């Protein structure tokens, strides 16, 4: 056996694979072999590093050199220069935009400096398709510890003490959920892993499953031991093929080693896991709808109580927990409840993974301690707003969440605080918006999503959300009235109070929170018939500034409806009655002579 002196870790997450990281791995392997270093250097495909903005990522260890945006053709230079001669390839290093200097080590990068990785601890460090690597980083030790040293009761006490709460959105204490399922007697019980990640822009569950699938399997078995469940289901959307594949590989490997299956660690505890595919309906992230979907029924929620802990899958006690929640469980058992409870804020312990997206410089996956300010996430880790524009709002919690304006940026993030300022934790999607985003249009976008995804079972959600959407559409078309705004203010809370499940109970949030924080923008649409951000096409017009137009005819040539008139070197003019407001002239003009207002 040879010991590799150097490891080249290449991100094999969905994002980086889309940028040819698979080809990059093959090229690196070929180059290493060609250099005759096949037994000195190991090329490893890992899970997501989180820094998706700059993927594909290659990390060279133990040198700790972090390469970004690596192309398959760069493999030769990395091997010949760095691996062979110890000279890092500086053109592939990350350039810190604020100081314009190259940074070679990831821990020096602002993106990683403030992160604390618990759920993502192995993502970007181990090969997810190799159980040996998971075992070498203490994998399955937590399961071994609970099975041989702890009673289910003691395990539940430990989980309660840790303060871990559900990471899927609701924030229900995990220990309490397990306790409820353990107290209900039945011949068979189930553990369900909710991997039906539906919030637009959120991809932390996918990344955990792709980067560290064994941790989820291990935690499910631990939950099985705590609650007395014999079987586990992973409900995952079929549109996550890579995550599904890695789960299948992981389950097979764990079964082979006896870490799942019958009589684990020689005890009388047995646990099996089955993967169940979802078709990608948003409502199936709701636990009762999810359970019905597994049973082969329509994915519709039902009233709670009875809670799944009493009567869940096939009418048996069931505990439904989210992927990220599970990923936190093994470290809690190995490091202790006190360790976990020492991280985070008073009521929200530990860390949370956020999917940072939108108009922010460093798009990616970040794991931060609870209680960190939004400002730190967006401006320190996220690197601020793209193209030096002005921050307007951040949308958290997906379609169920709300928009948080500048004034809320210093709020310490935890479950309670986000709810207090009109948004929610949700699964951790975080979409940053700048001055060019119209808040009415944003609210309309989310309502369109919830209307599409509403299962239609209860009236408030099916009809109420549709009415909200229609009203918003009217407003963006310049046909809204002040009465419309009042109606929405009244209708929103009614939907929230009367809808059957979490989808309807939260879907008016985007409208209500934008009305609360950006009221002036709504009034501008309704009274002045103007869209201040210049997004709603019905409310804006393009004009040519006579003093700036040099008569180059560029706009005239690109106009698809030929509504621009003017001769060479003479001032041009737009015929407003025929303009379709496509903006092509605005983009084509090199002299900033065309404005929209």
- Interface contacts to other proteins, rule CB under 8 A: 2-7, 9, 37, 39-40, 61-64, 84-87, 107, 125-126, 132-133, 135-141, 144-145, 147-148, 256-259, 265-266
Categorise residue 297: left if φ over 0, alpha if ψ from -120 to 50, beta otherwise. beta
CB of 256 to other proteins, least distance (A): 8
CB of 503 to other proteins, least distance (A): 42
Give the closest residue to 369 by CA, choosing from 408, 400, 328, 326: 328
* Sheet containing 364-369, strands listed edge to edge, beginning at the edge strand earlier in sequence: 364-369, 351-358, 429-434, 391-396, 402-405
CB of 265 to other proteins, least distance (A): 6
Distance CA(49)–CA(51), nearest Å, equals 6
> Is 80 or 311 the residue whose CB approaches other proteins more closely?
80
> Is 150 or 275 the residue whose CB approaches other proteins more closely?
150
Range 169-185 burial, b when 16+ CB lie within 10 A, else e: bbbbbbbebbbbbbebe
CB 363 within 8 A of CB 429: no
> Is 3 or 303 the residue whose CB approaches other proteins more closely?
3
Q: Helix or strand or coil: residue 544? A: strand
> Is 47 or 532 the residue whose CB approaches other proteins more closely?
47
CB 252 within 8 A of CB 225: no
> Is 40 or 96 the residue whose CB approaches other proteins more closely?
40
Tokens of 579: 């303009």
CB of 175 to other proteins, least distance (A): 23
Please give, one letter per residue, the 3-state secondary structure of 477-523. Answer: CCCCCHHHHHHHHHHHHHHHHHCCCHHHHHCCHHHHHHHHHCHHHHH
> Is 48 or 294 the residue whose CB approaches other proteins more closely?
48
CB of 589 to other proteins, least distance (A): 51
> Is 44 or 443 the residue whose CB approaches other proteins more closely?
44
CB of 168 to other proteins, least distance (A): 30
CB of 269 to other proteins, least distance (A): 13
CB of 140 to other proteins, least distance (A): 6
> Is 126 or 447 the residue whose CB approaches other proteins more closely?
126
> Is 132 or 452 the residue whose CB approaches other proteins more closely?
132
Distance CA(544)–CA(555), nearest Å, equals 10
CB of 148 to other proteins, least distance (A): 5
CB of 147 to other proteins, least distance (A): 8
Tell me how far CA of residue 105 lies from CA of 60, 62, 64, 68, 122, in angstroms.
10, 11, 6, 11, 18
Q: How many residues does the chain have?
A: 597
CA angle 238, 241, 247 (to 5 degrees): 95
> Is 147 or 323 the residue whose CB approaches other proteins more closely?
147
Q: Helix or strand or coil: residue 334? A: helix
CB 117 within 8 A of CB 367: yes
């Amino acid at each position: 056996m040879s010991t590799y002196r150097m490891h080249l870790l290449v991100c094999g997450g969905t994002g980086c694979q889309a940028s040819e990281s698979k080809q990059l791995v093959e090229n690196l392997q070929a180059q290493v072999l060609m250099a005759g270093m096949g037994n000195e250097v190991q090329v490893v495909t890992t899970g997501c590093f989180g820094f998706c903005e700059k993927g594909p990522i290659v990390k060279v260890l133990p040198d700790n050199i972090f390469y970004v945006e690596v192309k398959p053709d760069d493999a030769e230079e990395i091997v010949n220069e760095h691996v062979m001669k110890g000279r890092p390839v500086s053109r592939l290093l990350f350039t810190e935009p604020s100081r314009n200097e190259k940074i070679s080590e990831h821990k020096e990068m602002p993106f990683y400096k403030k992160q604390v990785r618990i759920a993502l601890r192995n993502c970007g460090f181990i090969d997810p398709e190799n159980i040996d690597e998971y075992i070498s980083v203490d994998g399955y030790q937590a399961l071994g510890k609970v099975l041989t040293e702890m009673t289910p009761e003691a395990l539940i006490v430990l989980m309660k003490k840790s303060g871990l709460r559900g990471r899927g959105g609701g924030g229900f204490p995990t220990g309490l959920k397990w306790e409820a399922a353990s107290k209900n007697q039945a011949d068979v019980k189930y553990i369900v892993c909710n991997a039906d990640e539906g919030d637009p822009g959120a991809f932390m569950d996918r990344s955990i499953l792709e980067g560290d699938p064994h941790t989820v399997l291990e935690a499910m078995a631990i939950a099985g031991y705590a609650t007395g469940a014999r079987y586990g289901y992973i409900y995952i959307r079929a549109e996550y093929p890579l995550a599904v594949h890695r789960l299948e590989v992981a389950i097979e490997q764990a079964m082979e080693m006896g870490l799942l299956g019958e009589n684990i660690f020689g005890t009388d505890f047995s646990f099996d896991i089955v993967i169940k595919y979802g078709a990608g309906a948003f409502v199936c992230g709701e636990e009762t709808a999810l359970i019905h979907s597994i049973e082969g029924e329509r994915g519709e929620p039902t009233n709670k109580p009875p809670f799944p802990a009493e009567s869940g899958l096939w009418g048996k006690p069931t505990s439904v927990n989210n992927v990220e929640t599970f990923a936190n469980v093994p470290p809690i058992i190995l490091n202790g409840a006190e360790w976990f409870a020492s991280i985070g804020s008073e009521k929200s312990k530990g860390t949370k993974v956020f999917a940072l997206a939108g108009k922010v410089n460093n798009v990616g996956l970040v794991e931060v301690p609870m209680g960190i300010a939004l400002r730190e996430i967006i401006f320190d880790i996220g690197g601020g707003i793209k193209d030096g524009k002005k921050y307007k709002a951040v949308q958290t919690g997906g379609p169920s969440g709300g928009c948080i304006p500048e004034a809320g940026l210093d709020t310490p993030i935890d479950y309670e605080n986000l709810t207090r300022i009109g948004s929610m934790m949700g699964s951790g999607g975080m979409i940053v918006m700048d001055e060019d985003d119209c808040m009415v249009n944003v609210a309309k976008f989310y309502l369109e999503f919830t209307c599409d995804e509403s299962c239609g079972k209860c009236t408030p959600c099916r009809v109420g959300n549709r009415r909200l959407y229609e009203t918003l559409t009217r407003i963006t078309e310049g046909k809204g009235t002040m009465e419309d705004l009042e109606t929405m203010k009244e209708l929103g809370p009614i939907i929230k109070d009367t809808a059957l499940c979490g989808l309807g109970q939260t879907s008016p949030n985007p409208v209500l929170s934008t009305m609360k924080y950006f009221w002036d923008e709504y009034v501008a649409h309704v009274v002045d018939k103007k869209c201040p951000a210049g997004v709603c096409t019905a409310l804006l017009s393009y004009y040519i500034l006579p003093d700036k137009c040099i008569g180059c005819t560029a706009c005239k040539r690109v106009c698809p409806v030929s509504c621009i008139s003017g001769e060479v070197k003479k001032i041009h003019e737009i015929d407003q009655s025929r303009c379709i407001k496509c903006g092509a002239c605005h983009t084509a003009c090199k002299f900033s002579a065309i404005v929209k207002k």
